[in-house]
Amino acid sequence: MPTDKKTLMRGLRYLSGALPLLFMGPVVIHNAFMNKEHPFFKMVLGIGITFCIIAILLMIQGLRTIMKSLFDNEK
């Protein structure tokens, strides 16, 4: 059962793209809640939530791609 290296590397790239967003999202959300009176509160909160959603989607896509490279036998 050989591993498809190109697909595995693509999955790892997805996961490495999700890693900074996993830290930036909660930090931005925390900073938004610290400044509730600021006029850009809703925009900054939306950006933080968007970062978190994108991080989750990238992790799902990365894990799905890695599983495909390990267990897919279509060669």
Domain limits, the chain = 5-70
Tens-digit pLDDT profile for residues 18-52: 999 999 999 999 999 999 999 999 999 999 999 99
* Location of structure tokens 């793209």: 17
Q: What is the pTM of this model?
A: 0.87
Distance CA 35, CA 30 (A): 9
Give, to the nearest 10 degrees, the angle between helix 5-34 and helix 41-71: 160
**Residue given tokens 């697909």 in the structure block:** 7
DSSP letter for 38, please: S
pLDDT at 73 over 70: no
CA angle 14, 55, 20 (to 5 degrees): 80
